Amino acid sequence: MKLDQEFYQVPLHFDAEQLHQEVFQFNEMDWQIHRTKIEGTSSIVLVSVGGTINDDFAISGAMRGTAFLELCPYIQQVIKAFEAPVSRSYLLRIPKSRKVLPLGDYNYHWFRRRCIYVPIVTNPGVQFSYNDHPQKITPESGEAWTLNHSQHHGIANTGAADCIYLVIETKGSLALQGILESFEENSELEPKQIAYNPSHVSEIPLETYCFEVLTPKEIGDLTAEILFDAEDLGMPQNKVTRLVEKIEQFRQKWKQVFVKFHHDRSGELAYQDLILEFQQQIVSDVHKWLPVGSRGSLALMVINSMLSTSQRAIAKQVPRLSWVRKKLTIKPTLRWSARYRVVEHYQQQTNFKRLSEQKVQVLELFQSSVTLDEVRERLTAIDGVSEEKLIKIVQRLLEFRLLREEFQLPHFEQPIFIVSAPRAGSTLLFETLSKFPQLWSTAKESHETIEGIPELHPAARNYSSNCLSAADVTPEIALTLKERFTEQLQNRQEQLFLDVPAEQRPQNVRFLEKTPKNSLRIPFLKAIFPEAKFIYLYRDPKQNVSSIIEGWRSRRFVAYRQVPGWPFQEWSFLLAPGWSSLEDYSIAKIATHQWKSANSYIMKDLKNIPAKDWCFVRYSDLVANPKKIVSRISKFAQLDWDEKIDQMVSRSLPVSHMSVSAPSPDKWRKNVQEINQILPEVQPIMNLVDKTQNSGQ
C-alpha cells in the first residue's frame, strides 16, 4: 500500500477505556525488551511469525496470534476494523522523558508494508517525527494514525508518564485504501466509532504467507534509482559506466533466477547468492555516493535486506578464548627454559604475510627446537631487537600461531565427546559440563583444529563429506591432533594448560569436546582416543531442524565458501554425504538432510562401541531438569560434583552464547509449514532414536 503523504489519520475511533482495561491486565513480567533495545522501551507481542515471542519479518513464516492476543478481545476487534491483513502486531511502551525512539529502519519488510498506530495511553508530550523533524501531530487515545515508512521516522515522549501504543503492521488492502482516501477527500468526516462488543468474537485477518522476493521489474526500478542518484550526486563518469555494467548484469541474473524459481523457497539460496554478489559488486562501489535517506540509498537497503529474517544484525562467530584474551589483554606466558619451534607450513599461513621483515628474521631463529635463552644469544645478528622487544615479538608469533612451545603431551584420560546434529543444544551442554573441576576443554568447537591438518580437511577428499573413519588415522595424525588440542586446553578458570609451569602440569587430563561435525567421525575419534566416552545429545526434529533453518538464514554458521561442486558462495554446518545433490532443494530440505545424516551416523557408529562408553541425553530433558540429567552424566563420566556445579544446575541453565534468537519450546512454529512437510521424512529416524535411547545408559 503506497501513500504519498507523511501522515494519515485513519477515520476510526476506538473505546480508550476498554483498551486501557485490556492493556493493564498484563503485569511487568509480560513486557519484553523491545527490538530497538533502547533502554526502558518494551513491548508485548500480539501477532508474530508462528505466534511465538519473536521479532521476525514476514518473510520468515506464517503469522499467528500469540497467547497475549487471545486475552484481548477488544484489541482483536480493533485490528479487524482496519479491514487489512496483519503482518505483525504488538503493544509498544515508551518510557517517559524519551526524546526520540526510532521506529525502524527502512528495509524490504517495510517496502511492502506500513504501520498503523493506535494510542492507548498517551499525553501531550508525545510527538511523531519525520526525517528528524518534529511533526505537529499529538495523537489522542483511541485515534489511529499511519505514516509513510520510506523515510526515517520516530516518536518522542517528553511527557511525565509512560505511553502505550497498539502497533499494527500491514500490506494494506483496497478497503483500507478506501477508508483513507475518503477521509482525505473530506477532512470534516467524523471518524467511525468502533465500540466494544463483548458478545462478538473477532477472527482477525492475517497476512497469507508467501516467500516473496522482488520481481525483475521491481529490481529494475530500484536499481534505476540507485543509478540516477549516483550520477546526479557526483559519482565520476568512469565509475558510473562500470556501475551501469554491473547493474545490468545483476538485473539479467535476477531475471534468470526469477524465471526458474519465482516466489518459491527452493530458490532461496540462489536469491541469497545474488544478493551477496550485489553487496560485493555494487554496494561496495556506490554506497559512499548516496546520502542517507536518498531514494538510491533506500533502494540499496531494500535489495540488501530482501531475505533478512529480522532486524538483528548478522553476528560473526568469535571464538570465546580469543574474546577473553582480547578483553583481558592477556599475553602468552613465556618461559626462558621452555623450548619453542616454528609450526609446520608456517609460510603458508595468512598471519605470516602480516609479519614485518624483523619479525620474520626472529621467527627464522626457531627453525629447530630452541629456548629463549639460546635465541637471546643470537640477537646480535638482527639489528634493533633488544631483549624486551624479543619478548614482545615472540608473544606476537605465539598469538599468530606461527610459533609453538615444544611440550610433553599429557595423557588424554577418558576424554568426553558430545556428539549431536548441528543446533541440537550441544553448546548449552558443553558450557555446563565445562564447569566440572577436573575437565579441560578448548572452549570452542574444533573445526580448525581438526581440519587444519591437511589430510583431514574435506578438500583432501574432494569435499565428499566431513566423514572420517578409523582408516584415516595414522600415528602422525594422532600425534598432531593431540598436540593441537593440548595447545588450546584450558580449565574452568580459563587458565591455559601451557600457561601452567611445566613441572606443575597434570600428566593426565580429562578432556571435553563438542563439534557437530564429529557426529560423522565417531570411529575416527575412538581410534585416536580408545578410552573416549560419547554423550549422544538428541533434539526433537521439529525444534532441531527449525533451528538449523534459522542458522542457515542467519548466515552465522557458514562452514565453507566457494566449495567445488556447489553453485552458491556459502555452505553452512556439516557436509553430510550426498550434500552436493541438494542444490535445487530448499533450506528446509537441506537442514533435514543434515539432521538425518548426523543422527543416523551417530546411532550406527555407537552400536559398534561398548555400551559403557556412551550415554543418551534428550535436549528437552536437559532443559526441563538440568540437575537430574547433569547428575546422570557425571556418574556416567565419573566427574567430581562440587558446589559450583550444584548451584549452576539447581536453576534454569543460562542461554547459550550461540543462540540465534531467544529460546522457546514453541519457537519452531514460525517454520511450521516447512516442518510439517518434513515430518514424514524424519519419522523413521525418530523411531530408531527411541530404540537407541533404551540402549544408552
**Three-state secondary structure string covering 405-453:** EECCCCEECCCEEEECCCCCCHHHHHHHHCCCCCEEECCCCCHHHHHCC
Q: Tell me what pLDDT residue 177 has.
A: 87
Contact status, residue 230 vs residue 289, Cβ threshold 8 Å:
yes
The whole-angstrom separation of Cα 103 and Cα 85 is 21
How many H-runs (helices) and E-runs (strands) does the chain carry?
A: 24, 25
User: Does some domain include residue 315?
Assistant: no
The residue assigned the cell 572420517 is 468
User: Does some domain include residue 40?
Assistant: yes
Q: In terms of domains, do 236 and 183 share one? A: no
The whole-angstrom separation of Cα 112 and Cα 212 is 10
The set of cell numbers assigned to 143 is 485515534
Domain boundary among the residues 129, 164, 194 is at 194
CB atoms within 10 A of CB 612: 9
Residue 664: CA count within 13 A, CB half-sphere: 12
Q: Tell me what pLDDT residue 381 has.
A: 64
The whole-angstrom separation of Cα 511 and Cα 491 is 10
The residue assigned the cell 574435506 is 458
pLDDT in tens, 530-587: 999 999 999 999 999 999 999 999 999 999 999 999 999 999 999 999 999 999 999 9
Closest CA to 405 of 376, 371, 378, 374: 371
The whole-angstrom separation of Cα 460 and Cα 525 is 18
Q: Any residues with CB less than 8 A from the CB of 344 and at least 6 apart, and which?
A: none
Contact status, residue 129 vs residue 154, Cβ threshold 8 Å:
yes
Q: In terms of domains, do 287 and 372 share one? A: no
| Spacing of C-alpha 154 from chain mean position | 27
Q: In terms of domains, do 163 and 18 share one? A: yes
User: Does some domain include residue 626?
Assistant: yes
What domain range is 269 assigned to?
Answer: 216-304
Contact status, residue 390 vs residue 375, Cβ threshold 8 Å:
yes
- Long-range own/partner contacts, residues 253-259 (CB < 8 A, 24 or more apart): 253/277, 254/214, 254/216, 254/219, 255/216, 255/219, 258/213, 258/215, 258/216
User: Does some domain include residue 625?
Assistant: yes
The set of cell numbers assigned to 28 is 511487568
The set of cell numbers assigned to 330 is 592477556
* Angle formed at CA 431 by CA 615 and CA 317, multiple of 5 degrees: 120
The whole-angstrom separation of Cα 494 and Cα 511 is 14
Give the gyration radius of the chain's Cα atoms: 29
Torsion (CA) 153, 158, 159, 162 in degrees, nearest 10: 60
Closest CA to 671 of 491, 544, 536: 544
Q: Tell me what pLDDT residue 315 has.
A: 42
Q: In terms of domains, do 429 and 400 share one? A: no
pLDDT, averaged across the chain: 89
The residue assigned the cell 523457497 is 265
Backbone angles phi, psi at 537, to 5 degrees: -95, 120
Q: Tell me what pLDDT residue 339 has.
A: 86
Domain boundary among the residues 253, 281, 304 is at 304
DSSP state, 582? G
Letter for the amino acid at 419? V
Q: In terms of domains, do 402 and 443 share one? A: no
Q: In terms of domains, do 394 and 266 share one? A: no
Residue 79: in which H helix or E strand, if any?
helix 73-81
Q: Tell me what pLDDT residue 660 has.
A: 58
Residue 532: CA count within 13 A, CB half-sphere: 22
User: Does some domain include residue 635?
Assistant: yes
Q: Which residues of the chain have pLDDT under 50?
A: 1, 313-330
Q: Tell me what pLDDT residue 132 has.
A: 62
- Long-range own/partner contacts, residues 383-390 (CB < 8 A, 24 or more apart): 384/358, 385/358, 390/362
Q: Tell me what pLDDT residue 292 has.
A: 81
Q: In terms of domains, do 577 and 482 share one? A: yes
Contact status, residue 319 vs residue 427, Cβ threshold 8 Å:
no
Q: In terms of domains, do 249 and 132 share one? A: no
Backbone angles phi, psi at 53, to 5 degrees: -85, 100
- Could you tell me where the beta strands, DSSP code E, fall in 84-207? 86-94, 98-102, 114-121, 126-130, 133-134, 145-147, 153-157, 163-170, 192-194
User: Does some domain include residue 437?
Assistant: yes
The whole-angstrom separation of Cα 170 and Cα 165 is 16
User: Does some domain include residue 314?
Assistant: no
Domain boundary among the residues 160, 194, 228 is at 194
Backbone angles phi, psi at 216, to 5 degrees: -55, -35
Q: In terms of domains, do 230 and 283 share one? A: yes
Tell me the Ramachandran region of residue 39: left when phi exceeds 0, alpha when psi lies from -120 to 50, beta otherwise: beta
The whole-angstrom separation of Cα 527 and Cα 118 is 65
User: Does some domain include residue 251?
Assistant: yes
For β-strands 114-121 and 163-170, DSSP reports them as antiparallel
Q: Is 402 helix (H, G, I), strand (E, B) or coil?
A: coil
The set of cell numbers assigned to 8 is 494519515
| Spacing of C-alpha 537 from chain mean position | 21
Residues linked to residue 264 through DSSP beta bridges, in sequence order: none
Q: In terms of domains, do 17 and 131 share one? A: yes
Q: How many distinct structural domains can be found in the chain?
A: 4
Q: Tell me what pLDDT residue 322 has.
A: 36
Q: In terms of domains, do 344 and 290 share one? A: no
CA distances from 673 to 27, 210, 545, 677, 679 (A): 33, 11, 12, 7, 10
Q: In terms of domains, do 376 and 270 share one? A: no
The whole-angstrom separation of Cα 602 and Cα 609 is 11
